[in-house]
Amino acid sequence: MKILKTVQKFPGGLMVGPLLIAAVIHTWAPGLVEIGGPTTALFSSSGTMCLAGLLLFIIGSQLPVRQIGTVLKRHGTLLAVKLIMAFAAGMILMHSFGAKGIFGISTMAFVSVLASNNPGVFLALTKSYGDEIDHAAFGLWNVACMPTIPLLILGAASGAAFDYMALIALLVPFFLGILLGNIDGDIQKLMAPGSMIILPFLGFCFGISVDLVTAFRSGLQGIFLTLVFYIISIIPAFCTEHWILRRPGYASVATCCVAGLAIGAPSQIAQAVPEHAPYLQAATAQIALVMILTTVITPFLTKFTAGKFGTAP
């Protein structure tokens, strides 16, 4: 059977396929991977941070120091645009509608989605359409997908603290990889194929906490939130990449995918900023649906953009 070749026919399929399979398992057989030992450690959500840390180390080991400036120029700019849009939307919604939000979608849900990206899907897509600079930006986008980002935005007015140690802990594997990969070229060669091996497992870990039934109960609100996410996220980022950075534009589209980690953001926000607590359950369901929809849609949007405007030269 040609399983791998079949999966790779779909944009980002190396990560998206396992993610969707895991979501199906969690929805209808949630205890299947909770049997303890290596099975639970590798295939449950408890393995997410370990795999993400290993992937950060591997990506860092492939980044020559001389390219860091290029990574920051290209993807640091896109990240800044994304966070500015999320912050502006959050401030406008809080000022105009409060924590309740609009159209049955809380401000917490809007900000959690707009501030999110899925680095795994981004990496899988740039493996097909991007270059080594795009691959190296995986570490940068990992920082941006932390649930503490929307908490920082919504907690700015109420004085909620930002967890700087979580940011440092996220960056340590990445910088350690950069250090060792640049000191010893053999380490760089050893780690080179690692990212492609880890991606399917990371995708599975992201998906194993998603309940499809709960997600789809959000219905039209989740679909509307997805549409708003694409409009606010893609248009400014694509214009910045295509017209200012003079790039094809596929990378800005590839970053517009909501991560599984965003589903956990409302609980952190509700604990830190109590006025958002009444909207916790609805926001969680809506974000879960957006995550599922963007995981499926974004790879095809990226493929279309790469086909129309070109891939990495």
How many other CB atoms sit within 10 Å of the CB of residue 199?
22
Q: How many angstroms separate the CA atoms of 224 and 131, rounded? A: 33
* Amino acid residing at 152: L
- Convert the pLDDT of each residue in 102-158 to its tens digit: 999 999 999 999 999 998 899 889 988 999 899 888 878 877 777 778 888 887 645
Q: Which amino acid is at 204?
A: F
Whole-angstrom Cα distance, residue 56 to residue 61?
9
User: Closest by alpha carbon to 277, among 64, 93, 99?
Assistant: 99
Structure tokens at 243: 């017209």
The confidence score (pLDDT) of residue 192 equals 84
Q: Which of 192, 202, 241 is nearest to 16 (CA)?
A: 202
pLDDT, tens only, 159-204 = 555 566 766 777 888 889 999 999 999 999 999 888 888 888 988 8
Position 208 scores a pLDDT of 85
Report DSSP state, residue 245: S
Q: What are the tens digits of pLDDT across the range 51-83?
A: 888 888 988 888 888 888 999 999 999 999 999
**Chain-centre distance for alpha carbon 261:** 8
Q: What is the pLDDT of residue 240?
A: 96
| 294-313: average pLDDT | 90
Neighbours of 28 (CB within 10 A): 11
DSSP states along 133-161? HHHHTHHHHHHHT-THHHHHHHHTTTTPP
pLDDT score at 166:
65
Residue 167 confidence (pLDDT):
65
Which one has a higher pLDDT value, 30 or 180? 180
Tokens of 148: 């503490």
- Our CA angle for 52, 57, 61, nearest 5°, is 145
Whole-angstrom CA distances from 226 to 113, 181, 209, 218, 294 are 8, 39, 20, 11, 7
Query: Which has more pLDDT, 207 or 186?
Result: 186
Q: At what angle do helices 107-114 and 148-155 cross, to 10 degrees?
A: 130
pLDDT at 261 over 80: no
- What confidence tens digit (pLDDT) does each residue in 262-290 have? 887 888 788 777 888 899 888 988 998 99
How far apart CA 184 and CA 250 sit, in angstroms, is 32
pLDDT for 160: 54
User: Which residue has 């000191």 as its token pair?
Assistant: 183
